[in-house]
Amino acid sequence: MYDYIKGKLTKITAKYIVVEAGGLGYTINVGNPYSFTDCVNQEVQIYLHHVVREDAQLLFGFHSEDEKAVFLNLISVSGIGPTTALAIVAVDDNEGLVNAIDNSDIKYLMKFPKIGKKTAQQMVLDLAGKFVEVSVENGKASKTSPAGNQELDDAMEALLALGYKASELKKVRAFFEGTNETADKYISSSLKMLMK
């Protein structure tokens, strides 16, 4: 129904961002909200997918059309809903996802939150060869100023919102203690660690 929204980014939370367009604030669920940190109070263009459920209408947002295409392919698989697909797309390097699907690497696919063996096998069956023309861009914003522990707290909260367990994040958090990065960088690095 919606292709994209262009407006002013007014709010960032661990689960979503808010974009104001035409006097309305739209709640948009995104994989890594803190990748938009540099865009607060600036005009942004977010590619959208609109999900209508019995109890809610939800907007899911993406940095690029390619990222959206990966998401749409994922939700076409039985057993993968929009929230799970968003958690998968949140991993910066979707090349690993594509390779795992094309090479039937079930163990790799099972590392994503809420993906069991049957769903991983279904992903391979349904999506093998479908990502040939999809090259996911890394159009994410970055912040150069040093950050404190609040950034790490925000990153861990966002990872919990994506479905990772607190027990999984304990080691990741310990690894980053004492460092100064943006929440976006912490999330990106943490997702790579969790996928190993």
The enclosing domain of 38 has a CATH number of: 2.40.50.140
Render pLDDT for 8-28 as a digit per residue (tens, 0 to 9). 999 999 999 999 999 999 999
Helix, strand or coil for residue 129?
coil
Render pLDDT for 56-112 as a digit per residue (tens, 0 to 9). 999 999 999 989 989 999 999 999 999 999 999 987 567 889 889 989 999 999 999
Render pLDDT for 111-156 as a digit per residue (tens, 0 to 9). 998 999 999 999 999 998 776 444 433 333 333 333 347 899 899 8
Alpha carbons 149 and 152: distance in angstroms, whole number = 5
Helix, strand or coil for residue 142?
coil
144 is a domain residue? no
166 and 120 fall within a common domain: no
75 and 51 fall within a common domain: no
50 and 32 fall within a common domain: yes
- For helices 183-194 and 166-176, the axis angle rounded to 10 degrees is 120
**How many domains does one find in the chain?**
3
Residue with the bigger pLDDT between 135 and 173: it is: 173
Looking at residue 75, its pLDDT comes to: 95
Rounded to an integer, the average pLDDT of 44-61 is 95
Looking at residue 142, its pLDDT comes to: 33
Looking at residue 51, its pLDDT comes to: 95
45 and 86 fall within a common domain: no
Rounded to an integer, the average pLDDT of 160-173 is 84
111 and 154 fall within a common domain: no
For residue 57, what are the domain limits?
4-62
46 is a domain residue? yes
143 is a domain residue? no
Alpha carbons 128 and 160: distance in angstroms, whole number = 29
Looking at residue 146, its pLDDT comes to: 37
pTM: 0.74
Among 40, 62, 84, the domain boundary falls at: 62
Alpha carbons 167 and 173: distance in angstroms, whole number = 10
29 and 69 fall within a common domain: no
Looking at residue 115, its pLDDT comes to: 93
The enclosing domain of 100 has a CATH number of: 1.10.150.20
138 is a domain residue? no
